[in-house]
Structure 1
Amino acid sequence: MRDWTEQNGVFTLQMKETVDAPIDRCFLLTCSIALVQEELGMAPVSGRTSGFVQPGDKVRWHGWQLGMRHHHVSLISGYVRPTFLQDTMLSGRFRTFQHDHHLTELPNGATELYDELRFSLPFGLAGKLVARYILTPHILRLMRSRFHRLRRIATTEAWKHYLVPNGDSI
């Protein structure tokens, strides 16, 4: 599978990974504010700032990306535990930004993660060039890193650090 396409200025990035861990554990790790903060190097500053995102939550992130100060406000616009999570940008540098996280339980008890991320930038042709040559490779690296990190955490005792015993751990 090619990992990205572009149509009419909208870039679609796709990635798939199999994790040898239960689907609910993988879903909760996907929803973990602490894990996302570590992955992105950005801090949640308002809205839901800790724990696990829930349907309708908003999170305002501040930090640095590609050497620039960045802010991004996300809405949890789709949530079906333990198979689907969607976050949609409400404000930030992108014209549009939406990230779908699909999880499927496999017959052997492992979990297949499939992410699809769609974004576009303002500024016409200049925005398309920045998206194609700078942002697409950068976001794909972040997605790969996220999947590898999630797999490492979900398949070792490290998951216990993120999923505390309060009814949201397994």
Structure 2
Amino acid sequence: MATIYLETFIKADIHIVFDLARDIDLHQKSTFKTQEKAIAGRTSGLIEENETVTWRAKHLGVYQTHTAKIISMEKPYQFTDVMLKGTFKSMKHQHTFKVKNGGTVMTDHFEFESPFGILGKIFNRIFLTGYLKSFLLERNALIKETAEGNH
């Protein structure tokens, strides 16, 4: 299983950052390069615990769908989503939020496993981990800009 761990410091209230991180509309804005669109389940607004969202996006030149479910949520400190259907063999994304130095530290702990055994592991190491890290960093940059009032 591959893991991506990111910390982003945001000069904003934890409640604002928490809500922006689960905002379907903001997520779609941050993923315009992949034409990501919520097509089923929660398709707008703030996703809640036990809700699902199905995304359609163009990754690596191919349109793909991905259905995720929020399996736990403790406002405004954490929420976790897992893939129910999609390209990965498995995927889990834990989002945590902590008050620190007059702002919020937003942490992503993203675990995924590609199909195809050893070939999938090689693909993860050579390409996919970097691709997904860039994807998350772009999303986090928009959350930060929006929360800090620079957008």
Give % identity: 28
Q: In the alignment, what sits opposite 2:92? A: 98
Q: In the alignment, what sits opposite 2:73? A: 79
What TM-score do the two structures reach when normalised by structure 1? 0.84
Paired AA for residue 149 in structure 2: T
- TM-superposed CA distance for 1:35, in Å, is 1.1
Could you say which structure has the larger radius of gyration?
A: 1
Q: In the alignment, what sits opposite 1:128? A: 121
Aligned residues: 148
SS at match of 1:101: strand
Paired AA for residue 12 in structure 2: A
Quote the RMSD (CA, aligned, Å). 1.1
Paired AA for residue 81 in structure 1: K
Name the stretch that deviates more: 143-152 or 116-125: 143-152
Paired AA for residue 20 in structure 2: L
1: CA distance, partners of 2:39 / 2:149: 30
Residue by residue over 1:62-116, the C-alpha shift from the partner in whole angstroms, topping out at 9 and shown as x without a partner, is: 120121111000001111110101110000000000101000012x430011110
Q: In the alignment, what sits opposite 2:47? A: 53
Matched, 1:88 2:82: yes
Give the one of 22, 43, 51 matched to 1:31.
22
Name the stretch that deviates more: 78-87 or 32-41: 32-41
Name the stretch that deviates more: 88-97 or 137-146: 137-146
Name the stretch that deviates more: 124-133 or 89-98: 124-133
Residue by residue over 1:106-128, the C-alpha shift from the partner in whole angstroms, topping out at 9 and shown as x without a partner, is: 2x430011110000011111111
Structure 1, unaligned stretches of length 5 or more? 1-9, 159-170
Paired AA for residue 118 in structure 1: E
2: CA distance, partners of 1:157 / 1:134: 32
Residue by residue over 1:125-157, the C-alpha shift from the partner in whole angstroms, topping out at 9 and shown as x without a partner, is: 111111111210001101211222111110016
2: CA distance, partners of 1:14 / 1:157: 25
Structure 2, unaligned stretches of length 5 or more? none
Give the one of 61, 69, 87 matched to 1:67.
61
| Runs of 4+ with deviation above 2 angstroms | none
